[in-house]
């Protein structure tokens, strides 16, 4: 999904709950609606095995803001942001808000690109970022910590897709894909799996 897109130098640009699609048997997740997707790096720019620095994406006063309002990262606000931003971090921001929607938590703010949005202002308010997010709303405290890491207001400090995939809580989510990582074994049974249960994959 998103990890593959980013590895190919492509940003989705409009992640939201309508865009992740499950295959008919529910074993494969695919990302749809690539209308705002764009290449931020040529696939020929990355040296083999090297960490890639993304090309800066220029945002000017005449550039339209793309994406869907509640999911747009604050750095895309041309009035308040630097003239460039990392589109991978913006995708992670939208991914975190999509996860909240999937958990049934609704929108925490109308849009973070509006300096006047009081809910977003409370979220980033000093001294404690994360106001308005309650641990009891999440299936696990670790899930809240993960979402807050994905919503860090400073893009360079936001979790990357690599960080997220290595997170112990994410690695413990029930595995439905027929492609099981080497050394892992799926231990759940769809006939017995309940909506509110979290069955882990063991290593």
The secondary structure element, H or E, covering residue 84 is: strand 84-85
Q: What is the largest CA-CA distance in the chain?
A: 54
Q: Is residue 14 flagged as an active site residue?
A: yes
List the Cα angle 105/95/70 in 5-degree steps.
60
Cα–Cα distance measured from residue 139 to residue 106, given in angstroms and rounded to the nearest whole number: 15
Q: Could you tell me if 77 and 113 are in contact, meaning their C-beta atoms sit under 8 angstroms apart? A: yes
Q: At what angle do helices 87-102 and 141-150 cross, to 10 degrees?
A: 150
Handedness of CA 192, 20, 95, 51 (dihedral sign): positive
Residue of 14, 86, 91, 167 marked active site: 14
So which residues are the catalytic ones? Answer: 14
């Amino acid at each position: 999904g998103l990890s593959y897109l980013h590895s190919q130098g492509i940003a989705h640009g409009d992640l939201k709950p309508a865009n992740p699609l499950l295959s008919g048997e529910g074993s494969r997740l695919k990302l749809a609606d690539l209308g705002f997707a764009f290449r931020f790096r040529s696939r020929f720019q990355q040296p083999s095995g090297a960490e890639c620095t993304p090309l800066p994406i220029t945002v000017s006063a005449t550039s339209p803001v793309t994406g869907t309002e509640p999911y747009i990262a604050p750095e895309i606000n041309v009035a308040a942001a630097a003239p460039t931003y990392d589109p991978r971090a913006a995708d992670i921001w939208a991914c975190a808000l999509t996860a909240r929607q999937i958990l049934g938590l609704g929108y925490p703010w109308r849009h973070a690109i509006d300096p006047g949005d009081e809910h977003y202002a409370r979220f980033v308010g000093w001294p404690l970022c994360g106001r308005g997010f309650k641990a009891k709303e999440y299936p696990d405290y670790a899930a809240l910590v993960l979402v807050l890491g994905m919503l860090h207001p400073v893009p360079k400090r936001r979790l990357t897709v690599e960080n997220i995939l290595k997170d112990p809580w994410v690695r413990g989510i029930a595995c439905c894909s027929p492609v099981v990582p080497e050394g892992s074994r799926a231990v759940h049974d769809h006939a017995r799996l309940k909506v509110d249960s979290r069955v882990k994959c063991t290593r």
